Homo-oligomer: A and B are copies of this chain.
Amino acid sequence: MNQVLKTAIFGASGYSGAELLRILSPRTDVEVVKLFANASAGKNIDELYPMFSGVNELPVEHYTPGACDGLDLAFIAMPSGEAMKIVPELQSYVGKIIDLGGDFRLPNASLYKNFYKHEHHAPELLGGVTYGLPEEFKNEITSATLIANPGCYPTSAILPLIPVLRERLIEPAAIAISSMSGVSGAGRSASTEMSFAEVNENVRAYKIGSHQHIPEMQTVLSKVSGENVTVSFIPHLIPITRGIYTTIHASLTRTTSTQEVYDLFKAAYADAPFVRIRKTIPQIKDVVLTNYCDIGFAVDENTNQLVLISVIDNLMKGAAGQAVQNMNLMYGFPETAGLL
């Protein structure tokens, strides 16, 4: 490709939007042409994020229909429910769209009503969406025009589960997933419960049994494994800014060994540049500010369970980094361009 890819970022004032800009700013083959946001429109991005001072001082604008006319790609990093309002119109102006939110990840409108608690405004689009998990759907991504970038928790849970589910090494029902997340996953907005004084020196689980990432995990894992996968997912908010730590308990279907599981993972992700199979227990700091998903595991003979552990940076492999990985595949850039 000789021309520079022209892109826009919707939701530029949020953490995922700013992370996209941070990743893309040094690239010479991609240009961020437009930044959109609502509450912050009228300011320049370096006023919102002074780290961009002298680096990128683009204005943040209100989006108006047609404002992206002729651009190649739009990244949408807006709160749940916003992308579905914009995408139908936006598709007539830009070539391709990557939505970092959840508006296009689930297969049907009824799941949105149950888990996102609102109607879907563009259900006719749901059939044509590609789930942007490059390790599993690389071919589809290459030719996709509308990508649903996976959720942060689902990315951390699906990657370690796919190989062992496919191998029928674990029971598909009642997989117990316990995740800990940094607060940047909740976005940049004013709320008492995300204030430092409430989060610091504290831990709290939330949305037990009702988190919108449950149907996302179950849908993708069932599709990939050909079995009816059910998960019990407990997210916890912990006092860190970035990162997700996911610990999974699953019942083994047969005896196995550490070596067999290791070999299984290594084979499954031999061609995945951002998945690292670890022989030691991963830590969040091993992946912060990177696009890696590190996977560790243990065979617990005492209970005949397989314990899986994965770590990602929620803003990178869990959001903006994975979106750029998808962009790279969609436009023929090296998969790792700008991400190492």
Hey, which bits of chain A sit against chain B, CB under 8 A?
Answer: 15, 26, 50-51, 53-55, 173-176, 178, 180, 182-184, 188-192, 194-206, 208-209, 214, 230-232, 234, 236, 238-243, 245, 247, 249, 251, 276, 278, 280-290, 294, 298, 300-305, 307, 309, 311, 340
Q: Are B197 and A183 in contact (CB under 8 A)?
A: yes
Given A231-B303, A302-B230, are A309 and B249 also a contact pair (CB < 8 Å)?
no
Give chain B residues whose Cβ lies under 8 Å from the Cβ of A232: 249, 300, 302-303, 305, 307
Looking at A176, A241, A251, A300, which has the most chain B CB atoms within 10 Å of its CB? A176
Q: How far is the CA of A242 from the CA of B285 in the complex (A)?
A: 14
Q: A188-B197, A203-B240 are in contact. List 18 more A-B contacts (CB 8 A).
A: A26-B340, A50-B282, A174-B304, A174-B305, A180-B238, A182-B201, A188-B198, A190-B195, A201-B201, A202-B285, A203-B238, A203-B284, A208-B307, A230-B303, A232-B300, A232-B307, A238-B238, A249-B249
Closest partner residue, chain B, to A195 (CB atom): B194
Q: How far is the CA of A199 from the CA of B194 in the complex (A)?
A: 11
A178 to chain B, nearest CB (A): 4
Closest partner residue, chain B, to A288 (CB atom): B201
Q: Are A196 and B190 in contact (CB under 8 A)?
A: no
Closest partner residue, chain B, to A280 (CB atom): B50
A234 to chain B, nearest CB (A): 5
A266 to chain B, nearest CB (A): 12
Q: Are A236 and B240 in contact (CB under 8 A)?
A: no
Give chain B residues whose Cβ lies under 8 Å from the Cβ of A53: 276, 278, 286, 294
Q: Are A208 and B284 in contact (CB under 8 A)?
A: no
